[in-house]
Chain A
Amino acid sequence: MTAAPLTQTPPAKPSARGRTRVKQDPVTTTILALVLLILIFLVLLPLGRVLGEALSADGLAVLSRLASSRTNRATVLNTLVLGTVVGTVGTLVGFLLAYVQVRVAFRGKRLFHLICLLPVVSPPFAVATASITLFGRNGIISTQLLGQEWNIYGLPGLTLVLSLSFFPVAYMNLVGMLRSLDPAMEEAAASLGASKFTVFRTVTLPMVVPGLGASFLLLFTEAIADLANPLVIGGDYTVLASRAYIAINGEYNTAAGAAYSLVLLVPSLLVFLLQRYWSGRSSTVTVTGKPTGSFELLRANVARIPLLVVSVAVLALVVTVYAAVVVGAFVEILGVNNSFTLRHFEYLLSGIGNESMIDTTILALIATPIAGILGMLVAWLVVVRMRRGAALVDFLGMLGLAVPGTVIGIGYLVTFNRPVALFGVNIIAPLAGGSAIAGGAMAIVMVYVARSMPAGQRSGIASLQQIDKAIDEASTSLGASGAQTFLRVTLPLIRPAFLTGLVYAFARSMTTLSPIIFITTPHTKIMTSQILAEVDAGRFGNAFAFCTILILIVMTVIGGLNLLIRGTGAGREPR
């Protein structure tokens, strides 16, 4: 039973049959065409414009200096090291917490889960800013409490902050995956006399390898494309994303920025292909459609206590960082003058922040269902429906995340701030910029979708790869159309992944920054860009207050989403 639908043609089905089947199903073909059109419009068009810039004379000059300049080589190396370190650390932390959550018996699972999700719901520089306040050279914990002088600027700080920001992505993926594993195999191994650890090592772990791979990929691309943290806490550790930002914003050289971004695409692409190859090697079908039992929770203290101690330590760190954000919102200057004040909230609510809170929330709410459904559709097409070109569609969907936000933002600005014309006819009115329709809000929603859809797509793919194709085929052969099969059979099976996609899409939209910088207009104010302005100006209190409000909004909406999704139909209740 090989499940390598992405990369290898399963032996039982010649590829010719796969092709005809797609042709025979007009619904699938229509969906495919529609999805392709949307993806091209959302990602490829703006990217094409930026690539055009990168290949201009200025851009080529940068590209040709890449190998010869020591500084540029160091930047590329820094980027790769950062991606690998954060990908590894974040995935390991995410896996540990997911395993403890799903498999270990302890009280307070709900709280544990909520704390794990906390970093997703906040803008990344909240973590960076709080970390400097806590662990910086004059930090509350480092200096004022422990009398140490740590230098957290550079790779150590970036690793801490980015791993803390992104481990929840791995956690969410892996929780979904661990929950949907068929316990039968583990039971079989256990009844054959294998010890718990042997079962874990030889049965459980291999089954989650695709999930680990997917997490590593996501975290790697997120880490190297992140801009806010290298700017705030990166120190002298220059990465390609911050170099591209400096080129565009400091040297007024969009072409050079585009060229650095082009280089940034290469490692993302390599990891992407590597992961695809790797996950194609291992057998992953675990959801077979046969009734499943439930797991036996880990209760032996010899394994339970160390796992819980490490998990609680990680969670304590998360809580401390966010406590600093919340406390920082209510004091004058955290760590300098700790007297209570409501000044920061007054500042925000007196007019500077209100509009942006409403605008940002509404736009993110519009983008969330679009991104969630689009992500699942792409995953479904890629894993279930497509033979040829599946890899390409998958790649196209991931592009929105793999490309640094700055590039997407510039791409949107140059592409959509005027009418888009095809053969001399304006087919679309201007979407971005101050003079666009709807005050530029459409472009922002599009960016939100492009940036947040890939997460849903990845978790959808990871989840679908575990499902035996026979289930889908049974539905089709009983006469159901592609759409019916998707809605009635596939969707319920990937419900956890879908929920993950929605939650992530909303949180991601609310916290997206770098592409937004370039397309904010006075008519649509966005919280993240205002937070960065406050961090930039050094008014951490205002930034913390903004972050606190943002976290509250995201938490409220996610709570609502959970109720909504759980409340409808017969979903698989997480245990």
Chain B
Amino acid sequence: MRTFSRYGTALLTAVMAGGLALSGCAGSTDSGSSTTGSDEGPITIACGAMEDLCQAWTDKFTEQTGIKATYVRLSSGETVARLASAKDNPEFDVWHGGPVDGYGEAVNQGLIEAYTSPEAAKIPDEYKDPDGNWTGVYIGALGFCSNQSQLDKLGIDAPDSWDDLLDPALKGQVSMAHPSTSGTAFTTLWTQVTRLGGEDAGMDYMKQLHNNVLQYSKSGTAPGQIAGRGEAAVGLVFSHDCVKYQEEGMTDLVVSFPEEGTGYEVGGVALVAGSSHKAAAQAYIDFAISAEGQNVGQTVGSYQVLTNPDADTSDKMANLDDINLIDYDFAAAAAAKPDLTARFDEEIAAEPKE
């Protein structure tokens, strides 16, 4: 103890200072990106979809173009963190999949650059960034993913309104993700803000819902499988995730939508700023937006609604005409996100339940 305080502290300070000084120098002479690869690839995708879809997308692209493409599966937050920390020497060329709220954050930080694909002309304007920073490739509507046998046990019907979720019978039976880590859960939160007409009213609703929530999971898709295994009666997820779990054997699951209106996500594709394989990356984005590229999802059980009018539809996809979608303002949502999630964390997540 004495030895530590006498010499240790001095040494510790010295070494720490040394470490900091060294690290300060690190990378000060950035060699740029000229050393690796060529314009034609191979390219690397930061992929925000499930692993099998990521693999199917890249395989199909390579098959079509002959350009080698590899991917790393990352959540939106991980992608932004990695793009930000490797800004000077980007390791990715394209970001594909995951809600565009995250892309909005990347735009704010200058991590992605505009590219208007010729294919994008077909995509409706509401699913494209006006400045061409990202293009929407699929849409998912927020729904209730319920376990029928758990509902039967509780003696209630599948919820079809947001107010149904506040039923005391559902105490500890609602599973949703944490809005900080999950785009899905943030969509849920912003949906309340929009439909109830203000942040305070939205927070009030979430506060009431809190008493019925089992736990705020990290992943946006997790509540679907938590309901699928009967850990909770209702999961709040995008309906295509619920369908995917049904397809994979969780046959007790049923999908329903709130009649007051529900939020939705647009999954995007974007060019990473400073990509050293720009031509190949742009070819990939063209592919991702094309009908063939979008159709890949159905081959691995991912039934998102597709943005390309030429893409195939399936009766396993949600029919957006039958669902009451709220007027979801992505720019406003992205702008409000930091404060709103901080409030959620402070005022709701850690509160005891009644």
Contacts and interface: CB of A to CB of B under 8 A. Distances in A.
A8 to B, nearest CB: 8
A64 to B, nearest CB: 14
A517 interface: yes
B78 A392 contact: no
Nearest to A139: B231
A397 interface: no
Contact size class for A? 35 or more
Nearest to A40: B19
B52 interface: yes
Nearest to A233: B215
Interface in A259-316: 273, 276-277, 280
B29 A424 contact: yes
A250 B178 contact: yes
A396 B224 CA distance: 44
Contacts of B228: 333, 336, 538
A27 interface: no
A190 B221 CA distance: 62
Interface stretch (A109-117, A317-325, A414-422, A497-505): A414-422
A336 B229 contact: yes
B173 to A, nearest CB: 9
A533 B51 contact: yes
Interface stretch (B68-76, B123-131, B261-269, B288-296): B68-76
A347 B300 CA distance: 11
Classify chain B's interface size: 35 or more
Given A138-B231, A336-B229, A538-B228, A40 B27 contact: no
Nearest to B26: A420
A346 interface: no
A249 B26 contact: no
B11 interface: yes
B91 A433 contact: yes
Contacts of B12: 392, 395
Nearest to A252: B80
A562 interface: no
Given A387-B3, A523-B70, A537 B219 contact: yes
A132 B349 CA distance: 21
Contact of A539 (B4, B18, B27, B248): B248
Contacts of A245: 181, 218
A421 to B, nearest CB: 5
Interface in B138-160: 150
Contact of B77 (A136, A252, A419, A533): A252
Contact of B218 (A236, A423, A534, A536): A536
27 contacts: A45-B26, A47-B19, A236-B215, A248-B81, A249-B75, A249-B181, A250-B181, A251-B338, A251-B341, A252-B77, A252-B109, A253-B338, A273-B4, A333-B229, A336-B228, A391-B3, A410-B81, A417-B89, A418-B30, A434-B91, A435-B91, A518-B81, A523-B70, A536-B219, A536-B222, A537-B219, A540-B225
Interface of B: 1-4, 7-8, 11-12, 15-16, 18-20, 22-31, 33, 35-37, 44, 50-52, 55, 70-73, 75, 77-78, 80-82, 84-86, 88-89, 91-92, 105, 109, 150, 172, 178-182, 214-216, 218-219, 221-222, 224-226, 228-232, 245, 248-252, 338, 341-342, 345-346, 349-350
Interface of A: 6-9, 40, 44-49, 51-52, 69-71, 74-75, 132-133, 136-138, 143, 151, 153-154, 231-232, 234-236, 238, 242, 245-254, 273, 276-277, 280, 332-333, 335-337, 347, 351-352, 387-392, 395-396, 410, 413-415, 417-426, 430, 433-435, 517-518, 520-523, 530, 533-534, 536-540
Given A249-B75, A424-B25, 7 more contacts: A7-B3, A250-B181, A252-B109, A420-B27, A434-B92, A518-B82, A537-B221
